[in-house]
Amino acid sequence: MTVDTHPPASARTRRLTHFRPDQLAWLALALTLAVLIIAPLSMLVVKSFTDGTTGGFTLENYVTAYGRARHVQALWNTLVMGLASTVLAVLLAVPTAWACTRTNMPGRTFVRIALFGSFLMPPYLTGVGWILLAGPNAGFINQAWTALTGLEAPLVDIFTFSGLVLVMGLSTFFTIFILVSAAFELLSTEMEDAANILGAGVFRTAFKITLPMAMPTILGSALLTFLVSIALYGVPALISIPARYPVVVIQLAEFFSFPVRIEVAAAYSIPLLGITIGLLLLQRRVLGRKGYTAVGGKGGERRVTDLGAWKWAVFGYVMLVVLLAVAMPLLVLIMAAFSHSWVSGLSLENLTLEHFRYVLFEHSSSQRALITSVATGAAAATLAISLALSISYVVQRRLLPHAGVLAFLCMSPFVIPGIVLAIGFYAVYALPPVGLYGTYIILILAFTTRFLPIAYTTSTNGVRAINPEMEEAVRILGGGQFTAIRKVVAPLLKRTLASGWILIFVPAAQELSTAVFLVGPHTRVVSVVLLDMSEEGTFERLAALGSVLLLIIATIVLIGVKLLGRDFMLRRS
């Protein structure tokens, strides 16, 4: 009786005679999404065809945006960089995920916790860390190289294409790691045993059985990473200008400088939007409707593979990943934060608390920015998770006709690069008649929109886990829909709520791409202040402020993890 258990349009007939307040509430959700997503996006499209001075229709913006070889080059560069950093991210993430979930490599728990640090660390701080490590002359690695070999030529140079790709890959691989780990964990050992019995060794089994089984997840998460990396602003702002490797986000920023050409920026970002949508459609076609969570077979025993002596080789590789992604950049940042001058390295006379004093008590923007970042991050997380929960509930329970449209809208910010979203938001809400420029509201709304897909995915998983019969039991006993939500759904979703909140809060409190065009003088968030500091080269202060932000976020996450149990995102229960 599976066909008729959840009829697709149960609400429709009810609505005809009983138009109740709860349905008004569902309609309000649709309106909210229109405000958050449809309006900015359609404004972006409209602006791209609008003459900035006359307000009439024009194609001139596209000519300006794509009329120069350099601008087209930036688009091409972006794709190349995105592809290269995605490949790197996969190479970093997949073996690590395999080692942590399917093998007896030592220190698996340590690795998971250490890599969690890479989730807490925003890309631009990883970038700054690597500038300190691999600046061509003064970078620690090159200093050590020169000291060791006497050679003047730098060993590594972060201000190059490969440097850019390295930082990008290190900043984004965690998503792949987490998703692929989850997929590996769902695989039954019996699949591997079957191959072993037929005579396949450990690595052969990994390549022939384990890897292909997780392939949909790997491809899906890689695509996600690609989309994230082509839209990331912080890392290119730090590295791609000195590396002279122009990319789309930098070009977009140029359209926002003298003279400010929002219309051209809009026109320039449309293809980016097209590429993202196209790739997602392609993925859907290739993988079928299963998406990137497709790993069949829950059942079966799960047991780790004994790697024998190889486990130390694997351990070595995984440690390298931990070092590159977390330990080294974090260490140099902390060191810089406590140093008079970061180049001088570790010594007692170089030690100082001066920078912390400066950012905490003297520099008026940083104090305010710390509060703004945490507050807007928390507000956006709360808003996004409430909205997403409501919508995934409506969608899962089919309370509204065409609920699928709401679901689609919720996921659509996925395909909108942060900086493009910011331009759309700016065009609709910053300018009169709305005039939200420089308010916290516009930041919170933009962050909410940006992280709605994460919220929606988490919420949907949570709602899906609640059997609709739980609520029907309330209804039939005499309670309304809202009673069911209040007494049953909400209490059962507490965990989902909390873990979703953390998953959004962390990136929202560090968000840069969306913030960069939307902050006002009094609503600057830490990421923007850090970016401004980076252009003055005051890395010590930047490191101090970055460390304070990391500390605050880590504390909040730790409290959450304490409440939720340690494995809320490291392992699926």
Partner 1 sequence: MNGLVLKDLGRRFGAVDAVKDVNIELQAGEFLSLLGPSGCGKTTTLRMIAGFLAPTSGSIILDGVEVSSPRGSLPPEKRGMSMIFQSYAIWPNMTVAQNVAFGLNLRKLDKAEIRRRTGEMLEAVRLNALADRYPSELSGGQQQRVALARALVIRPKLLLLDEPLSNLDASLREDMRFEIKRIHDEFRITSVYVTHDQSEAMVTSDRIAVINQGRVEQIDTPYEIYTKPRTRFVAGFIGRTNQITGRRGAQGVDFAGFTLPGAAFTGSEPDVFISVRPQSLHLSAEEPVTDNALKLKGTIAGRAFLGETWDYVFRSDAGLELRITARPHEVYALGAPVWARASSDQVVQIL
Partner 2 sequence: MTLIQRLMPATGLAVLGLLLPASILQAQDLTATEAALYEAAQSENGVTWYTSQLTTEQAEQVCALFSERYEGVGCFPVRANGSSTLQRVVQEIQAGAVQGDVVSTNGVSDFEEFKSLGGLAQYRPENLSGMEPSLAALNDSDGYYFVSGTSPFGFVYNTEIVAPEDVPTSWNDLTDPRWRDQIAIAHPGFSGSAGQWAIAMDRLYGEAFFQGLAANDPQIGRSIADGYTLVTTGERSLTVTSLALGRDAMRDGKPVDLVVPEEGMFLPPSAAAVLADAPNPNSARLFAEFLASAEFSEWLASMGRNPLRTDVSTPEGVPDLTEVNVITVSVAESLENQQRVVEMFRDIFGI
244 lines the binding site for partner 1 (CB under 8 A): no
Using CB under 8 A as the binding rule, whether residue 308 contacts partner 2 is answered as no
Does residue 163 belong to the site contacting partner 2 (CB under 8 A)?
Answer: no
- Which residues are bridge partners to 339 per DSSP? 351
Nearest to 270 by CA among 51, 61, 37: 61
Residue 491 binds to partner 1 (criterion: CB under 8 A): yes
Closest CA to 485 of 468, 498, 465, 460: 468
> Smallest gap, in angstroms, from Cβ of residue 269 to partner 2?
16
Chain length of the chain: 573
Give the shortest CB-233-to-partner 2 separation in angstroms.
13
Closer to partner 2 by Cβ: residue 426 or 568: 426
Which of these ranges, 158-166, 260-268, 276-284, 464-472, lies near partner 1 under the rule CB under 8 A?
A: 464-472
Helix intervals (H) in 361-489 = 364-396, 403-411, 418-425, 440-464, 468-476, 481-484
Q: List phi, psi (to 5°) of 385.
A: -70, -35
106 binds partner 2 (CB under 8 A): no
CB of 313 to partner 2, least distance (A): 36
Contacts (Cβ under 8 Å, ≥6 apart) of 225: 85, 86, 89, 90, 172, 173, 175, 176
The residues pairing with 103 across neighbouring beta strands, listed in sequence order, are: 305
Strands in 206-345 per DSSP E: none
Question: Of 227, 228, 120, which Cα lies nearest the Cα of 507?
Answer: 120
- Name the residue nearer to partner 1 (CB basis): 197 or 476: 476
From partner 2, partner 1, none, interface partner of 16 (C-beta below 5 to 8 A by class): partner 1
Interface mask (CB under 8 A) for partner 2, residues 310-349, using x and -? -------------------------------xxx------
Q: Report the residue from 83, 241, 488, 552 that binds partner 1 according to the rule CB under 8 A.
A: 488
Return the residues of window 63-82 that contact partner 2 according to CB under 8 A: 68, 70, 73
Residue 306 binds partner 1, judged by CB under 8 A? no
CB 160 within 8 A of CB 244: no
Say whether residue 487 binds partner 1 (CB under 8 A). Answer: yes
Query: Cβ of residue 24: shortest distance to partner 1, in angstroms?
Result: 16
Nearer to partner 1, 25 or 39 (CB): 25
Binding piece for partner 1, criterion CB under 8 A, among 14-22, 159-167, 174-182, 329-337 = 14-22
Of these partners, partner 1, partner 2, none, which one is at the site of residue 14 (CB under 5 to 8 Å by kind)? partner 1
Q: Does residue 437 bind partner 2 (CB under 8 A)?
A: yes
* Torsion 93-97-100-104 (CA) sign: negative
Q: Which two tokens stand for residue 346?
A: 């570790």
Query: Any contact of residue 398 with partner 2 (CB under 8 A)?
Result: no
Which of 306, 467, 558, 565 forms a contact with partner 1 (CB under 8 A)?
467
Judging by beta carbons within 10 Å of its beta carbon (0-12, 13-18, 19+), is residue 552 exposed, middle or buried?
Answer: middle
Query: Among residues 366, 362, 364, 369, which one has the least CA distance to residue 523?
Result: 369
> Applying CB under 8 A, does 498 fall inside the site for partner 1?
no
Pick one of partner 1, partner 2, none as the site partner of residue 474 (Cβ within 5 to 8 A by kind): partner 1
Contact of 381 with 505, CB cutoff 8 Å: yes
Query: Which residues lie below 8 Å from residue 90, measured CB to CB, with a gap of 6+?
Result: 173, 176, 218, 222, 225
Name the residue nearer to partner 1 (CB basis): 31 or 470.
470
**Residue 263: in which H helix or E strand, if any?**
helix 262-287
Out of partner 2, partner 1, none, what residue 13 binds, judged by CB under 5 to 8 A for its kind, is partner 1
464 contributes a contact to partner 1 by CB under 8 A: no
Q: Does 144 bind partner 2 (CB under 8 A)?
A: no
Q: Which does 477 bind (CB under 5 to 8 A by kind): partner 2, partner 1, none?
A: partner 1
The partner in contact with residue 73, picked from partner 1, partner 2, none with C-beta cut-offs of 5 to 8 angstroms by kind, is partner 2
| Short-list 217, 214, 216, 252, CA closest to 232 | 252
Least CB distance to partner 2 at residue 61 (A): 16
Please tell me the distance from the alpha carbon of residue 92 to that of residue 88, in angstroms, as a whole number.
6
Q: Find the binding residues for partner 2 in span 467-506 (CB under 8 A).
A: none
Token pair of 282 as six digits: 């392609």
Closest-CA residue to 396 (of 326, 351, 448, 456): 456
SS3 103: strand
Site for partner 2 in 520-539 (CB under 8 A): 520-522, 524, 532-533, 535-539
Greatest alpha-carbon pair distance for the chain in Å reads: 86
Among 65, 227, 474, 502, binds partner 1 (CB under 8 A): 474
DSSP for 387-402 reads: HHHHHHHHHHTT-STT
Could you list the residues that contact partner 1 (CB under 8 A)? Answer: 1-5, 7-8, 10, 13-14, 16-18, 467, 469-470, 472-480, 483, 487-488, 491-492
Could you list the residues that contact partner 2 (CB under 8 A)? Answer: 68, 70, 73, 135-139, 159, 237, 240-242, 244-246, 250, 254, 256-260, 341-343, 358, 361-365, 367-368, 426, 430-432, 435-438, 517, 520-522, 524, 532-533, 535-539
